C-alpha cells in the first residue's frame, strides 16, 4: 500500500455467540441480538448477518 494514502474512516464491532449471539459496535450505536432468520427457526425480533450485510451494502447506493 502506498504510504502517502490516508485512512479516512474505520469502524469496529464485536460479536459473541456466533449466529445466536450478540453484536455491538465500538460506539454502542449498534447493539443487536443475533439469530438465524425467524423463517428458519430463529428468534422473532433478532437480526442476522445477512440482514446486516444487506443493510450496509444498500446504504452505499
Q: Which grid cell is 46? A: 433478532
Over pLDDT 70: what percentage of the chain? 95
What's the pLDDT band for 22 if we cut at 50, 70, 90? very high
| CATH architecture label of 13-58 | Single Sheet (2.20)
Distance (Å, rounded) from C-alpha 53 to C-alpha 59? 10
pTM over 0.95: no
Average pLDDT over residues 39-54: 92
Which stretches of the chain are assigned E, i.e. beta strand? 13-16, 22-25, 31-33
Amino acid at each position: 500500500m502506498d504510504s502517502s494514502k490516508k485512512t479516512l474512516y474505520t469502524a469496529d464491532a464485536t460479536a459473541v455467540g456466533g449466529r445466536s449471539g450478540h453484536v455491538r459496535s465500538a460506539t454502542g450505536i449498534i447493539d443487536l441480538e443475533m439469530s438465524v432468520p425467524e423463517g428458519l427457526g430463529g428468534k422473532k425480533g433478532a437480526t442476522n448477518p445477512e440482514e446486516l450485510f444487506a443493510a450496509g451494502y444498500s446504504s452505499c447506493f
